[in-house]
């Protein structure tokens, strides 16, 4: 069996997660393991995917190996999956599984995110291993790592894999409710609409409609316009200094444009079962706050182009974002199920008091 390890950790060969693969590898010298340092080389692979394409084509099993970052996978691996989907590759005869390390804080949503994306690509998904950061230091952790790989081997040899969960997407019936009357509310408060929209898209029109309907002042912060140097490197420099090691000015951008407002509305189109690469960069880079919540009590809302009802894992991530930040989740409006009036009206006003 040819095993291609997609190492999504920005720590590269020093990744804690990768050590689990190295540990397993010692017991399986009949298999060929190849590692792509996706977390460190994403910029290079964005320019030229050919090496990755050849390695993916040669693989029987693709092993996604990464640290859990803000409920999901690191932004760099997120981008790599986009590139995998764009490449002309037949995944249908390949297996996939995953290994993570984390503090078990929403590792379940990260695992589910990989599973959903494997289903999209037609990869045959085998249940993964979610280890704690220190697991490999104990006999129990070592035992669990080997038991996981025995299961992968067993599944591969028998052609066993998890059933596809959301293969057939239901079409929306197209009935949208009429635009309701404008509510008159006192202007007190400013809402940051954080988005990655392009003009003249359903999402853009949704934002315009929201701006029209709300009686609060709004400012649109488009993440597409921010020159991110890259995804969080997990170096923990910020934990002691409160400053990110990148010099692209994201800390100030976040603090001046978003954290100063009274409420935040995130506007995005569902992509690959998530909020898209730009939002993942944004989420991971918020680690620059030194892993502290800084918007506690502030209401958040969502404008979503897509049908969240078909994405239970993404809904859980959205709820987790509000929950862990101590934010009040004021409402979620979707293109397919319009609830803008509710979001613009009393829910945000009430929670701003």
Residues in contact with ligand FMN by the rule CB under 6 A: 9, 11, 15-17, 67-71, 101-107, 133, 232, 234, 284, 287
> How many Å apart are CA 346 and CA 326, to the nearest integer?
20
C-beta separation of 69 from 277 below 8 A: no
Distance from C-alpha of 47 to C-alpha of 42, rounded to nearest angstrom: 9
Nearer to ligand FMN, 59 or 68 (CB): 68
Shortest separation between residue 107's beta carbon and ligand FMN, angstroms:
6
At its nearest, how many Å lie between ligand FMN and the CB of residue 206?
A: 28
Cβ distance to ligand FMN smaller for residue 100 or 197 = 100
Q: Which is nearer to ligand FMN, 133 or 308 (CB)?
A: 133
Rg (C-alpha) for the chain, rounded Å, is 21
Q: Is there a contact between 278 and 196 (Cβ–Cβ < 8 Å)?
A: yes
* Separation of alpha carbons 85 and 185, rounded Å: 45
CB contact at 8 A, 206 and 333: yes
Which residue, 210 or 226, is less far from ligand FMN as judged by CB? 226
DSSP 195-260: E---SSSHHHHHHHHHHHH--SEEEEEEGGGS----S-----HHHHHSS-S--S-HHHHIIIIITT
Give me the least distance between CB of 253 and ligand FMN, in Å please. 17
Shortest reach from residue 130's CB to ligand FMN, in Å: 9
Q: Which two tokens stand for residue 24?
A: 């397993």
| Cβ–Cβ under 8 Å, residues 140 and 57 | no
CB nearer to ligand FMN: give 52 or 238: 238
Closest CA to 99 of 70, 135, 49, 52: 135
Q: Rounded to the nearest whole angstrom, what is the least distance from the CB of residue 283 to ligand FMN in the complex?
A: 8
Nearer to ligand FMN, 141 or 234 (CB): 234
Tell me the closest approach of the beta carbon of residue 133 to ligand FMN, in angstroms: 4
């Amino acid at each position: 069996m040819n095993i291609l390890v997609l190492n999504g950790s920005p720590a590269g060969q020093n990744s804690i997660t990768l050590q689990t693969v190295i540990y397993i590898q010692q017991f399986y010298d009949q298999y060929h393991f190849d590692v792509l340092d996706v977390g460190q080389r994403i910029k290079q692979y964005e320019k030229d995917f050919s090496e990755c394409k050849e390695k993916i084509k040669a693989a029987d099993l693709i092993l996604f190996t990464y640290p859990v970052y803000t409920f999901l996978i690191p932004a760099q691996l997120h981008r790599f999956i986009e590139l995998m989907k764009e490449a002309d590759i037949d995944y249908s005869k390949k297996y996939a599984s995953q290994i993570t390390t984390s503090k078990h804080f929403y590792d379940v949503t990260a695992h589910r995110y990989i599973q959903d994306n494997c289903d999209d690509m037609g990869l045959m998904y085998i249940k993964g291993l979610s280890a704690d950061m220190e697991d490999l230091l104990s006999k129990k952790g070592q035992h669990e790592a080997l038991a996981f790989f025995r299961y992968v081997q067993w599944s591969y040899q028998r052609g066993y894999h998890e059933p596809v969960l959301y293969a057939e997407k239901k079409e929306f019936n197209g009935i949208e409710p009429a635009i309701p009357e404008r509510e008159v509310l006192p202007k007190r408060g400013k809402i940051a609409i954080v988005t990655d929209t392009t003009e003249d898209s359903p999402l853009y029109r949704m934002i315009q409609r929201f701006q029209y309907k709300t009686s609060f002042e709004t400012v649109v912060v488009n993440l597409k316009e921010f020159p991110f140097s890259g995804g969080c490197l997990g170096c923990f420099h910020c934990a002691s200094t409160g400053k990110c090691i990148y010099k692209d000015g994201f800390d100030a951008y976040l603090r001046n444009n978003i954290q100063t407002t009274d409420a935040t509305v995130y506007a995005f189109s569902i992509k690959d079962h998530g909020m898209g690469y730009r939002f993942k960069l944004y989420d991971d880079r918020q680690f620059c706050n030194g892993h502290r919540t800084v918007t506690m009590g502030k209401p958040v809302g969502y404008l979503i182009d897509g049908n969240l009802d078909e994405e239970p894992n993404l809904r859980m991530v959205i709820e987790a974002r509000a929950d862990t930040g101590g934010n009040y989740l004021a409402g979620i409006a979707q293109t397919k199920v319009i609830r803008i009036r509710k979001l613009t009206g009393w829910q945000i006003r009430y929670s701003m008091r």
